[in-house]
Every structure is written in C-alpha cells, then in structure tokens.
Amino acid sequence: MHAVAYACAQLLRVGDVCHHARPRPDPTARRRAAPAAARIAQCAAGRTGGSRGGDAGTGHPALQVYYHRQGYGINDAGFAVGNAFSSTAAVAWEWDPFRRAYSYLAVPGAAEYSTSPSGLNDFNQVAGYYADANGNYHSFIEQVGHYTIYNAPGATETYFDGINDWGLLQGEWEDANYNAHGFLATTTEYFQSVDYPGSAATAIVGINDKLAICGGYSQSPLFSGPVLAFVAVPE
C-alpha cells in the first residue's frame, strides 16, 4: 500500500480542558463514549456469556456489577465492544447480537484490567490496546480468540483506535519524548505516520472505508493545551 496524501480541515475547538489523555494506568480515563453501544451493554447485563483468549475461565460476574459501562465501537452486524469498570476491577467485553450474550477480551500477558478495545470492523476484527507489566502500552488485533500484537516503528507506546473493513488501522504512537503522532498501518509492512500540519501532537481516532480520517491535534506537546478536531480526506 502506498502512502496516502491528505487534505486536512479544522473542525472546531474542543476546549481548554479537553486533553487527549490516555489511560495510564487508570483504565477509567477513557476519553469518549458511544451511547448506542453502551445501551447494548445494558441489554447484555445479566446474561451469561463465554470468555475469550487470555480471559478464559476467570468467571467474571455479570456486567451489571460494574458501575461504569461504555461501548466504544459497533459494526454493521451489531457486534459491539467496550469496557466496564468498578472501583476495584475492569473488564473488556464484546456483545454478540445473534447469541444475545457477551464474552470477554484480555490480551495474554497484559497487566490486569488494562485490555481496552477501541473498535471493530465487519469481519469482527477487534482493535485496541493494553499495558504490559511495566505500564507501557501496545496495540492488538483480536479475531476468534487469536491476538496479534503491534508496535509502531520507533514507538515507546502504540494505541490502535480503530480498524476499517480493509484491515487498515489508525491510532496514535508516541516517540521517545512522548510526543504524540497519528498513524495508519496494517499488521504487515505498511506504516504511515500522519501529523496535522504545524501541530505538536496528533491522534487519529476514526477511519472509514474510503480512507477518510478524523482526530484531534494540539499546538502543545502531550496534548497539554487546547485540542482541536480535524477531518482529512485523500487528495
């Protein structure tokens, strides 16, 4: 895949207090919610479901015991992913609309409660990120219980924020100085860093099947100042 040239457009000012903070180490610091998927999580509460991957056999309680439940992504078939939190625990979940049940996601070897799914495509490939035992963040793709781990080239931390139906992933990577950059990638050889022109920090948080992207940027490193939204389409 060749590098994509983008024409960017600034959308709006989000506000002086809106920082693109990643949950390090607090998983409840998720920066956005998806109300429709959250309602699906409410429907799932109280139903029994299986476990997935490294979470197998842990016997998590039903979702209603978690006081804070959010959905982060939903595909065209109605499969959805998100996290649920209590004061002492957290779980990553996937809702199956056909079984009307949820299952759990946990990257093998991840720090406890750190697995965070960001979205999924119509092939039920789930993209997200997790922390290792040292608190450093890496990205993953999960499909049918199999996890593929991904780190952006030269990155100290990598966060997948979504995946489209072409298998193209987007998100944020941080360099050795923890400066944030947006990126597009596949799990094979393609990687393209994408920064909003003139910005000190960029994150890409959405992509569609026509390769249009959206996200946020700041003139301040580490998103320590005002964050502005942008959309960009291939030229």
Q: Mind giving me the DSSP string for 179-218?
A: -EEEEEE-SSS-EEEE--TT-SEEEEEEE-TT--EEEEEE
Which of 57-71, 124-138, 168-182 is predicted with the least confidence, judged by mean pLDDT?
57-71
Q: How many domains does the chain have?
A: 1
* pLDDT band, very low/low/confident/very high, at 8 (cuts 50, 70, 90): low
**Per the domain annotation, does 210 fall within a domain?**
yes
**Do the domain assignments include residue 60?**
yes
Q: Which domain holds residue 109?
A: 6-234
The residue with greater pLDDT, 222 or 38, is 222
**Calpha distance 219→202 (Å, rounded):** 9
Q: Has residue 1 been placed in a domain?
A: no
In a domain, 165, yes or no: yes
What integer best gives the mean pLDDT of the chain? 80
* Position 144 in a domain: yes
Least Cα distance to 41 among 89, 85, 94 occurs for 94
Q: What is the mean pLDDT of residues 11-28?
A: 35
CA 138 – CA 145 distance, rounded (Å): 18
Which of 18-32, 85-99, 114-128 has the weakest average pLDDT?
18-32
Q: Which residue has the higher pLDDT, 204 or 32?
A: 204
pTM for this structure? Answer: 0.78
Note the pLDDT tens digit of each residue in 192-215: 999 999 999 999 999 999 999 999
Residue 32 has pLDDT above 80, yes or no: no
Which CATH number fits the domain that encloses residue 136?
2.120.10
Residue 200 falls within a domain, yes or no?
yes
